[in-house]
Amino acid sequence: MAVVTISREFGTESEAVAEEAAEQLGYAYIGKELIGEIAKRLNLSKGEAQIFHQTSQGRLLRLVDRYTCSIVQRVVDREHGCLDDKDYFDTTQKLVENLYDAGNVIILGWGGQCILKGRPETLHVRLVKDIDQKIDYVMDHHHLDRIAAERLIQREEKDLQSYIKKYFNKDWNDARLYNLVIDMGQHAPKAAAAIIAENCHTISG
């Protein structure tokens, strides 16, 4: 039994890597699908949970101390009152821990490298890429000019960094959070997945 968490810079083809690694290992892959389970746990529709996920991971976190309740109340209007982003995070953390208990799973995002840090038979992977290569990729796949692509990368990565800092007080780029760092400028998704699979067999062996 092993669990792989994947943290990624924006534009590193992380979904393709996670899906391919899951196929090679015969593991389950949990990424955005986890939103549906969170929606179920919090009695939200999947669409509402997706909106909450997008806001809570960055833009909302920059306002969380003073404005969380008023903002979220407008996003999710429920009779039980204000659903703050700590409720969302606590549910996410519990689900990630449940996935660890089940084993044989790849978790993309969700702060898994922090939630499961130090747990036996876990492999924490970081996907990185040179900024110019990320810009070229985002320009091509999102049909943006260079300036817009650079801004999108900065915004998305700032949100990811904010999430890790807010809830774990960790630096998203701290190499000590990871067992394996893969340069996606040097590896196609299938090759990166093979590296993950090889390392995963080592820790579960």
Alpha-carbon span 195 to 199, nearest angstrom = 6
pLDDT at 125: 96
- Every domain of the chain and the residues it spans: 3-32+93-204
Report which secondary-structure segment, H or E, holds 29.
Answer: strand 28-30
pLDDT at 21: 92
Alpha-carbon span 14 to 8, nearest angstrom = 6
Give the pLDDT confidence of 118-164 residue by residue, as tens digits.
999 999 999 999 999 999 999 998 898 999 999 999 988 888 888 88
pLDDT at 133: 93
CA nearest to 126, candidates 1, 17, 201, 202: 17
Alpha-carbon span 5 to 8, nearest angstrom = 10
pLDDT at 167: 84
- Record the pTM: 0.76
pLDDT at 55: 52
Considering the domain 3-32+93-204, what is its CATH architecture?
A: 3-Layer(aba) Sandwich (3.40)
pLDDT at 109: 87
Half-sphere exposure of 46 (CA within 13 A, CB side): 6
Identity (one letter) of the amino acid at 146?
R
Q: In which residue ranges of the chain is pLDDT below 50?
A: 56-83
Separation of CA 169 from chain center: 16
Instruction: Count the Cβ atoms, other than its own, within 10 Å of residue 46.
Output: 14
pLDDT at 52: 60
